Structure 1
Amino acid sequence: MTKLIRVLTATAVLPGAALAVAGVLASAWADRLPDPVATHWNGGPNSSTPLGLFVVVCLALGAVATALLAVTAVAALRRGRPVPRVTAGVGAGFAALAPATLLSVLVPNLDVPDWHAARSGSVVVLFLLGTAALGVVAAFVGGLPAPVLEAGPDLPSVGLRPGQRAYWSGRAVNPAMLWALGLIPVAIALLPAGLSWPMAIWIALVGTFVTVVTYRLKATVDAQGVTIRFGLLGFPWRHIGLGSIREATTRELSTFGDTGLGLRFNPVTGTTAYKVRGGPAIVLALESGRTVLVSVDDPETGAGLVNDLLAQRVTRID
């Protein structure tokens, strides 16, 4: 199976099949459904939508999502950057969400005299599980690693020589995060109809604790790979083995761009960002096709050491 066929199967055929099944069933059940149909439940059905309108909107949204997913995936493949497994799976599951929603609404409305008599909408859980299963299949079918590229001459380097010991540590701190999460709830409590003082203090304490364990970031590079640690406790943390990295570069990150602050994952691009501030960052291009961003000071040295270790294929330091 060629790469193009795999990508089209995951992003067009699988969600397209779900869309076709939903459309066929909606047409076949037309005489067995009330008009309008119940489309919202709060214990019992409490809202309705004209049958034809609901079917058309769901099928149209599903068609648009499927088309966008397939076009994006094929374009990425042609650029030599096919989507990672997670991206392919999440995209296919999202594209199948509209037909799943359609069926999860029509099934409880089958053979009832009017929408007020519709059965429980809890069947939606089964259809959501179906979209998750479709996403898993799409991930394994259409998720492809990016091709291994030859290291360019402009990649950062520290001039590491064979046999030399190698270690680098970089960090970044954002104390403003402590003040923001600690004082904002207190400020809200001072506003008319704001939070009560006990609730504001409780939220401030929880926010401060969360920030303490994430407001600073540390990254280390050695012959084993790259280790990333958050906060005073060094948790959450992640280790990326040297064998999983294709190359390392640097770039400037905006404060609230690149998925925002904190630990962020973008399923569309396959990018994971470890950020406590904007500014310089290490960019790790992984063999899987994903990208890891780490906002730390002096990223050029860290990236250079990674590239030198990759060039020498060092696996341990004596």
Structure 2
Amino acid sequence: MTAGWAALVAAALIAVPLALRDRLPDPIATHWGPSGAPDGSMPFTVSLLFQAGLWTLIAGASCASALVNAGMLRRRASRMALGALLGGGGMFFLGLQAITLSANLDAPGWWQAGHLGWGALLVPALLVLGGWLGALLGRPGPDDLPERGAISTRKVPLRPGQRAVWVSSARNNLLVTLGGSVLAAGVGLTVLALLGGDGTLWIPAAIMLLVGLVGVTFSSVRVQVTEEGVVLFYGPLRLPRKHIPITQVERAWSEELFPSNVGGWGIRGLPGAVTVMLRGGECLVVGYVSGGRFAVSIDDAENGAALLNTLVARVSTGPGAR
């Protein structure tokens, strides 16, 4: 299925421009400035080969990696990551080609190509939609979670009635810097749009503000384990937050995970198989009673898992045991 999708996207990236060749200028506009007007171009053949070649390289490397490392396909998180990469990437390239060809269609020259306008939002929307659908298609099937005997079952010794809390945090400084820079650029464009009355700046300003805000928010996380379960606080304002009730946890463990295992940086996967990847290495992994897992890259994950296992055992043997 993955190879078929990769081939289908590659065929579309080549066939559609060739079918419209007589209605496109040469060179064609390939870049648009903040005002929405074209400010860069490429020869038609170079543009066609660049998009098709880049997609073929990405899809081919992903498929080859899956074939070489067959074990990764036995893990739901890895299948979902591969599906998200190919689904989102394919839709991204198709959307990018669609708005590029639409703007250049029947234009006398590349400099007279149409403005992108709100159509520029189509590309990131297709990226998200394709990634979600690809991950959804990769979800069915077995999930090779570590066997109980293969993971640490260490618990924290607590006296009856004794309370304990574990707190840790992690931050990706590169993502913080990039997110902050994009957010600052978005604020600057917003100020220019307000002072100069240039309506063409609102679209790039809105995109930069959104991307920057998301980048800053999800570039750091604080994790807390208590008798109530696991709580994650995102960003400097500790918002939004995610709560995993203790009654939904079957077990927890520490595991070495890297971006290559889960499909990249940030929040990866769908509900039931999510990984918050801020840096490669030690991760706290929570196994759900209903199946599936949630992982977050965090320091001191082994002690967090040990306390969580202790609290889960206490709930399981207490008066209200499930």
Is TM-score (shorter-chain normalized) higher than 0.5?
yes
Q: TM-score, normalised by structure 1?
A: 0.62
> In the alignment, does 2:151 pair up with 1:126?
no
Q: Deviation string for 1:208-237 (max 9, x for gaps)?
A: xxx9xx999462233x53234579986553
Distance 1:71 1:159 in 2: 43
Q: What is the rounded CA distance, in whole Å, between the counterparts of 1:167 and 1:84 in structure 2?
A: 39
Q: Determine the structure 1 residue equivalent to 2:135.
A: 139
**Which residue identity lines up with residue 297 of structure 2 in the other structure?**
L
Specify the alignment match of 2:46 in structure 1: 53
Following TM superposition, by how much is the alpha carbon of 1:59 offset from its aligned partner in structure 2, in angstroms? 0.3
Partner residue in 1 for 2:87 = 92
Report the Cα offset of residue 247 of structure 1.
4.1
The answer to whether residue 16 in structure 2 is matched with residue 25 in structure 1 is yes
Unmatched runs of 5 consecutive residues or more in structure 2: 178-215
Q: Which has the larger radius of gyration?
A: 1
Q: Are the aligned partners of 2:232 and 2:242 in contact in 1 as well (CA < 8 Å)?
A: yes
Give the whole-Å Cα distance in 2 for the aligned partners of 1:109 and 1:216.
Answer: 44
Percent identity of equivalent pairs: 22
Q: Does residue 220 of structure 1 match 2:225?
A: yes
Deviation at 1:36, TM superposition (A): 0.6
TM-score (structure 2 length as normaliser): 0.61
1:48 Cα shift? 1.4
Distance 1:218 1:128 in 2: 30
Q: Distance in 2 between matches of 1:215 and 1:132?
A: 21
> Counterparts in 2 of 1:1-318, with a 5 A limit?
9=1, 11-42=2-33, 43-73=36-66, 78-79=71-72, 80-82=74-76, 83=78, 85=80, 88-122=83-117, 123-144=119-140, 146-152=143-149, 155-158=152-155, 167-172=163-168, 217=222, 219-222=224-227, 224-229=228-233, 235-242=239-246, 245=249, 247-250=251-254, 265=266, 267=268, 271-272=275-276, 283-286=284-287, 287-296=291-300, 300-308=302-310, 314=316
Q: Secondary structure at the match of 1:39?
A: strand
CA 1:291–1:21 in 2, change beyond 3 Å: closer, same or farther?
same
Q: 1:229 to 1:50 in 2, by over 3 A?
A: closer
Shift of 1:315: 8.3
On the 8 A contact 1:85/1:140 being kept in 2, the answer is yes
Q: 1:126 to 1:309 in 2, by over 3 A?
A: same
More RCO (CA 8 Å, sep 6+) = 1
> Secondary structure of the residue that 1:249 maps to in structure 2?
strand
Change (3 A) 1:271 1:234: closer
With over 3 angstroms needed to count, the CA separation of the structure-2 counterparts of 1:32 and 1:215, relative to structure 1, is closer
Q: Are 1:84 and 1:289, in contact at CA under 8 Å, matched by a contact in 2?
A: no
Contact 1:108 1:119 in 2 (8 A): yes
* Alpha carbons of structure 1 residues 115 and 159: separation in structure 2 relative to 1, 3 Å: closer
Report the secondary structure of 2:164's partner residue.
Answer: strand
Q: What value does the CA root-mean-square deviation take over the aligned residues?
A: 4.4
Residue 184 of structure 2: aligned partner: none
Unaligned runs of 5+ in 1: 1-8, 182-210
Measure how far apart 1:317 and its partner are: 6.4
Relative to structure 1, the CA distance from residue 240 to residue 59 in structure 2 (aligned partners, 3 Å threshold; closer, same or farther) is: same
Mapped to 2, the partners of 1:66 and 1:155 lie a distance apart of 37
Deviations 1:169-212 (A, max 9, x none): 123589xx9xxx9xxxxxxxxxxxxxxxxxxxxxxxxxxxxx9x
Distance 1:304 1:136, change over 3 A: closer
Residue by residue over 1:17-55, the C-alpha shift from the partner in whole angstroms, topping out at 9 and shown as x without a partner, is 233223211111112211111112233222211000010
Task: State how far apart, in whole Å, the 2-side matches of 1:118 and 1:218 are.
Answer: 50
CA distance 1:137–1:13, shift in 2 (3 Å): farther
Higher fraction of helix: 2
Deviations 1:95-118 (A, max 9, x none): 442343233212211222221221
Go from structure 1 to structure 2 and tell me whether the alpha carbon gap of 1:157 and 1:219 turns closer, same or farther (over 3 Å shift).
same
SS at match of 1:314: helix
